[in-house]
Amino acid sequence: MAENCTRYHAHPEEQGNGQRPIEAHGIVGDLRSAALVADDGCVDFFCWPDFDSPTVFASLLDTPEAGIFDLAPVLPGARRQQLYVPDTNVLQTRWLADDAVVLLTDFMPICDAPGLPRLVRRIEVAQGEAEIRLECRVRHDYGRADTQAEILGSGDVRFSAPGQPALRLSATTTLDVEGGSAVARFRLGHGEHAQFTLGGDEDVRVDAGDAVACLRETEAFWRRWLGQSQYKGRWREAVNRSALALKLLTSRDGAILAAATFGLPEARGGERNWDYRYTWIRDASFTVYAFMRLGFTEEANAYMRWLRKQVHDCQEVPGKLRILYGIDGRQELPEETLDHLSGYGGAKPVRIGNEAYAQVQLDIYGELLDAVYLANKYGEAISHDGWQQVVRVVDHLCETWQEPDVGIWEMRGEAQHFLHSRLMCWVALDRAIRLANKRSLPAPFARWDCERTKIHEDIWTRFWDEEGNHFVQHIGSRALDGSMLLMPLVRFVSATDPRWLSTLGAIEKTLVRDGMVYRYRTHDTPSDALPGEEGAFAACSFWYVECLARAGRIDEAHLEFEQLLRYANPVGLYAEEFDKDGRPLGNLPQALTHLALISAATYLDRTLNGGITLWKP
């Protein structure tokens, strides 16, 4: 339906195969799976039945042959708009033309009933009349399986492939099969609608009345959940959308995903393409902090219970943590390239799995212990067994904090002594000591305090460049790093300390471009070990705003924050990075970006209101 692609101007490399721009997407989900919906009515990315299952629609990373679900009116030149039903994750796409106004509603029902996730699509004509076209081309196993479509009835089509779970499309209109796809072409008049449900191979057919009731239940679920938020600040729309995006990335078992997608590139046409459909200790722990700031304690508690199980089940060195886990808790996620997919904008290889699971990243201990500390402060008190796990983790860290690692950015080159890793090791010990004191828990205080002091001294001596007058990315380097922006945010250094302000000034000169902050400059970082340049990192950009505010540069922070808000896509979602034009790069939506937005917004609210706290943890 190329005639509908009028709102966005795709990059040249995106036009040949009809891929929609990253920013032209909203997302719907049910806490088990999620689907991207483009603003032309196309579902072009959908992993099913779980977040990290193989795709059944993957045309975003290839051509329509990799799977697509198109549903749209034939209205050439119509203006398109996409928005969420307020305070929900129910997505609406609208077409406005001289002859008709058409509304498409997409959602995934959230209920306790048994069965696999369902995608529900309801299209209606609000004014005039319009011809509607549908094509549903399911392609199992990332488009590798031989998927067959068969008609079960006038409005029922089943999609099956060897060794794959079958899907069934049920409709309130007649469906045909052409070329392995379910297709339909029909007219709707004023006030008329059609309903389509894609789900497991059971009776998913629902009549219009059931569909409306299901929609209302789903809307009510999201509104009840968001109603728990204690944020009352001036950026409620952006903060609420970020909270809803984070909740959408939270599984029903408590795992928290880094992003809903894989393969969307950090550099156009390059090979910086990763699979983020898993739970990173770092990202999930930061998400706990964001949830706590807004008053969502149950999500934080559920994640801590989920993580305790993973640590308990670990049969390796006592206290050792994996970098990331599958949402079902699996610890090995070997990478595989999908060479049959052309990639978004030609960015190859398209990878699934993530070899970071085998890396050493010492910073995760700090992020985890910070989350444990906050969860105990505002959520459930730590159990006896939970504290024993913490003691093992911290004791293990006391033995390993001086070792090199690959750092927060998961460098694929030689291991180094990274500043951020050392910083977060300090955080881990600091929060463990604070927690033990607060809860009167037994701990080897003298040993822990000794190691905390050693790390503190190590950072101030070996990571300071006297000539450059700033902290450095790693020992032996003079490079700067966006992760340094966390130094005052985790309260290692005062936000007005002269050495920190000098470092902040150096970051501004080297890594900041019109408010967008790069993680590092690849030519200064041999450990990067990958060709090409990546975009500016969105989370670092929001950290920068908070650093400005904490340093007393309130007006600058306010302006930079407002500017970053303009870089969100039309429905308020952010990917991982920005290109030089402020367009999104990388996987979407990215949890780290949205949680950093929440942190910056809540701190700015406080400072702009004379220190008055507009949220209550």
Q: DSSP string of 519-541?
A: S--GGG-GGG-SSS---EEHHHH
**What dihedral do alpha carbons 207, 209, 213, 214 form, nearest 10°?**
10
Query: Does 615 map to a domain?
Result: no
Identify the three-state secondary structure at position 370: helix
Identify which of 290-304, 371-385, 522-536 has the greatest average pLDDT: 290-304
* DSSP SS3 for 424: helix
* Average confidence (pLDDT) over 344-348: 94
Task: Taking residues 270-291, report their average pLDDT.
Answer: 92
Q: Both 510 and 537 in a single domain?
A: yes
Q: Are 81 and 93 in contact (CB under 8 A)?
A: yes
Give the N- to C-terminal CA distance of the chain in Å, as an integer: 48
Q: What is the mean pLDDT of the chain?
A: 91
Give 614's contacts (C-beta < 8 A, 6+ positions apart): 231, 232, 233, 602, 605, 606
Q: Which of 497, 460, 462 is nearest to 477 (CA)?
A: 462
pLDDT of residue 314: 57
For the segment 429-480, what is each residue's pLDDT rounded down to a tens digit? 999 999 999 999 999 999 999 999 999 999 999 999 999 999 999 999 999 9
Task: Give the whole-angstrom CA distance, residue 588 versus residue 96.
Answer: 27
195 with 310, same domain: the answer is no
pLDDT at 203 (0 to 100): 53
Percent of the chain with pLDDT over 70: 92
CB 456 within 8 A of CB 444: no
Q: Return d(Cα 191, Cα 121) in angstroms, integer.
A: 16
Determine the Cα–Cα distance for residues 345 and 62; give it in Å rounded to an integer. Answer: 8
Alpha helix locations (H) across 189-314?
Answer: 208-226, 236-248, 281-294, 297-313
> Is pLDDT above 80 for 527?
no
Do 264 and 587 form a contact (C-beta atoms < 8 A)? yes
In the β-sheet with 536-537, what is the strand arrangement from edge to edge? 536-537, 577-578, 584-585
Domain end marker among 201, 226, 251: 226
CA 243 – CA 226 distance, rounded (Å): 8
The closest alpha carbon to 35, from 21, 22, 25, 24, belongs to 25
pLDDT band at 210 (very low <50, low <70, confident <90, very high): confident
pTM of the model: 0.93
Contact present, 82 and 92 (Cβ < 8 Å): yes
Distance (Å, whole) CA 236 – CA 82: 19
Among the three residues 226, 256, 276, which one is the final residue of a domain in this structure? 226
Q: At what angle do helices 281-294 and 236-248 cross, to 10 degrees?
A: 130
What is the rounded CA–CA span in Å between residue 509 and residue 554?
A: 19
Task: Report how far residue 360's alpha carbon sits from residue 322's, in angstroms, rounded to the nearest whole number.
Answer: 8
Is-contact 367 285, C-beta < 8 A?
yes
**Domain count of the chain?**
2
Q: Rounded mean pLDDT of 241-256? A: 96
The mean pLDDT value for 549-553 works out to 96
**Angle between helix 419-439 and 445-462 (nearest 10):** 150
Do the strands 279-280 and 464-465 form a parallel or antiparallel pair, or are they unpaired? unpaired
Tokens linked to 71: 């549903």
CA distance 523 to 510: 12
Q: Does 375 share its domain with 249?
A: yes
Q: Which of 199, 226, 253 is the last residue of a domain?
A: 226
Q: How confident is the model at residue 317 (pLDDT cuts 50, 70, 90)?
A: low
Q: Is 333 left (phi over 0), alpha (psi -120 to 50) or beta?
A: beta
Residues 544 and 585 in one domain: yes
In a domain, 231, yes or no: no
Which tens digit of pLDDT belongs to each residue from 147-181? 999 999 889 999 999 999 999 999 999 999 999 99
Six-digit token pair at 91? 């997505």
Count other Cβ atoms within 10 Å, centred on residue 377: 14
Query: Are residues 271 and 397 part of one domain?
Result: yes
Average pLDDT over residues 512-532: 80
The pLDDT assigned to 318 comes to 59
In this prediction, residues 96-122 reach a mean pLDDT of 90
Residue 207 confidence (pLDDT) above 70: no
Looking at the fold, whether 287 and 185 belong to one and the same domain comes out as no
Distance CA 148, CA 159 (A): 6
Residues 528 and 521: their CA atoms lie apart, in Å, by 9
Identify the CATH number of the domain in which residue 491 sits.
Answer: 1.50.10.10
Which residues fall within 8 angstroms of residue 609, CB to CB, at 6 or more apart? none
What SS3 class is residue 157? strand
What count of Cα atoms within 13 Å lies in the side-chain half-sphere of residue 73? 32
- Domain contains 162: yes
* Residues in CB range of 375: below 8 A, 6 or more apart: 288, 292, 300, 301, 304, 382
Residues 186 and 244 in one domain: no
250: helix, strand or coil: strand
Residue 467: DSSP 8-state = T
Confidence tier at 13 by pLDDT (50, 70, 90)? very low
**Residue 440: is it exposed, middle or buried by C-beta count within 10 angstroms (0-12/13-18/19+)?**
exposed
In three-state secondary structure terms, 144 is coil
Q: Provide the residue range defining the domain that includes 494.
A: 236-608
- Is 90 exceeded by the pLDDT of residue 523? no
Closest CA to 203 of 309, 115, 88, 109: 115
243 and 308 part of one domain: yes
Do 265 and 414 sit in the same domain of this protein?
Answer: yes
Are 324 and 333 in contact, with CB atoms under 8 Å apart?
yes
Contact call for residues 500 and 470 (beta carbons, < 8 A): no
Q: Is the C-alpha dihedral spanning 535, 578, 595, 598 positive or negative?
A: positive
Q: What pLDDT shows up at residue 29?
A: 97
Give the per-residue pLDDT at 461.
97
**What local confidence, expressed as pLDDT, does residue 1 receive?**
33
pLDDT band at 17 (very low <50, low <70, confident <90, very high): low
Q: Could you tell me if residue 617 is inside a domain?
A: no
Among residues 278, 163, 192, 173, which one has the least CA distance to residue 591? 278
Q: Tell me the CATH number at 58.
A: 2.70.98.10
354 lies in some domain: yes
Residue 613 domain-assigned? no
Angle 384-400/419-439 helices, nearest 10 degrees? Answer: 150
* Coil vs helix vs strand at 264: coil
Q: Does the pLDDT at position 412 exceed 90?
A: no
What confidence score (pLDDT) does residue 612 get? Answer: 42
Same-domain status, 206 and 289: no
Contacts of 127 (CB under 8 A, 6+ apart): 100, 101, 190
Q: CB neighbours (10 Å) of residue 184?
A: 20
Judge whether 614 lies within some domain: no
pLDDT score recorded for residue 611? 55
274 and 133 within one domain: no
Confidence of residue 121 (pLDDT cuts 50, 70, 90): very high
Residue 548 is predicted with a pLDDT of 97
Given a contact cutoff of 8 angstroms between Cβ atoms, the answer to whether 464 and 499 are in contact is yes
Tokens standing for residue 545: 């705003």
pLDDT at 532 over 80: no
Are both 138 and 245 inside the same structural domain? no
pLDDT at residue 12 is higher than 50: no
Q: Is residue 109 part of a domain?
A: yes
